[in-house]
Amino acid sequence: MLTQNVQLENKTILVTGAAGFIGANLVTELMHTVPTVTIVGLDNMNAYYDVAIKDYRLAEIERLAEEKTGIRWEFVKGDLAEAALIDRLFAEYKFDVVVNLAAQAGVRYSITNPDAYIQSNLIGFYNILEACRRYPVEHLVYASSSSVYGTNKKVPYATEDKVDNPVSLYAATKKSNELMAHAYSKLYNIPSTGLRFFTVYGPAGRPDIAYFGFTNKLLKGETIEIFNYGNCKRDFTYVDDIVEGVKRVMQCAPEKQTGEDGLPIPPYRVYNIGNSSPENLLDFVDILQQELIRAGVLPSDYDFEAHKKLVPMQAGDVPVTYADTSALEADFGFKPSTDLRTGLRRFAEWYKAFYQV
């Protein structure tokens, strides 16, 4: 077990992508568990998916911030790719901890809109690294992705595995983030930790993720397409488990050390955060429709079989994701554990309330 060396109380924390799925959940978790803290949230509020969901998440944060007396919350609408903005924020707030969750997400979108990935995931992350160099921080934590493993045949995926064969531009940008962070850790002694997230799901999630898109289509009576003829397996990880992992990692920065050459040994780590129990996509969709019926989103006599279609693999997709979380368990005593039915039940109940089905 690692010893906590970063106290979050009375600190100033930057969370980029604060209106995003993981970002908003992290902000609310910090507000619930850190009595006195300043949190600055940055998000460009782009229309990659329904902005109403981002507005809903921000409204929840604002409501919570008003309830908590020791919490200072500032939201900045702006783009990670704007170097002058990032520099100004770091100069003004002197952040102690930075959690970079802002990114252009999605594998398929990267095929049709590559520019968005270069701007956000490469230039944006470079701006964060440069700011951490100029205004030193105690710890930089950033989102990587399980997609860096590409089509690796060895499962479960371990952080020691080679990840040199990305099958999408999105995956390539995430691998690039890890390389850039390692270089800056070595050159400027910036403690950084990368987190490879595995298929995150839950209430108020991203509508471009399968479970959310499937729900929208089923509700409209449309047919859902299940790729690789239903033979895909995904390591679905509930958002609360992801956030708990992020919060624990934030408090344990890699130690600064000097090598025999008198230069810094990079204070750098990478972890997987996943459920370590891949689910077949057909089983996943079956549980989803059961929970949608239970929540009253779909009628009890819904003919699920008539609304599904098995189709081939899509470009950029991989057949399986499966996290080896032994390093996370050893260092933090934590392993994601929310089962799929529990997570999808919470999503279905949220969906019914949010869309007033």
Identify the DSSP state of 120: I
Give the pLDDT confidence score for residue 313 in this predicted structure.
83
Return the CATH number of the domain spanning residue range 12-355: 3.40.50.720
Give the pLDDT confidence score for residue 78 in this predicted structure.
98
Phi-psi region at 352: left, alpha or beta (left = phi > 0; alpha = psi -120 to 50):
alpha
Question: In the structure encoding, which two tokens stand for residue 214, read together?
Answer: 């499937």
Give the pLDDT confidence score for residue 106 in this predicted structure.
86
Q: Give just the sign of the alpha carbon dihedral 110, 81, 18, 322.
A: positive
d(CA 323, CA 271) in angstroms, rounded, equals 10
Q: Where are the domains of the chain?
A: 12-355
d(CA 162, CA 19) in angstroms, rounded, equals 33
- Could you tell me the CA-to-CA distances from 57 to 66, 146, 206 in Å, in that order? 15, 25, 12
Kindly report the pTM of this predicted structure: 0.96
Nearest to residue 226, comparing CAs of 178, 157, 297, 280? 280
Give the pLDDT confidence score for residue 107 in this predicted structure.
84
Please name the helix (run of DSSP H) or strand (run of DSSP E) that holds residue 135, with its range, or none. Answer: none
Give the pLDDT confidence score for residue 318 in this predicted structure.
79
Give the pLDDT confidence score for residue 227 in this predicted structure.
86
Report whether 338 contacts 238 (CB < 8 A).
yes
Which segments in the chain show pLDDT lower than 50?
Answer: none
Give the pLDDT confidence score for residue 221 in this predicted structure.
93
Q: Could you list the active site residues?
A: 170
Question: Is residue 168 helix, strand or coil?
Answer: coil
Give the pLDDT confidence score for residue 228 in this predicted structure.
85
d(CA 290, CA 278) in angstroms, rounded, equals 19
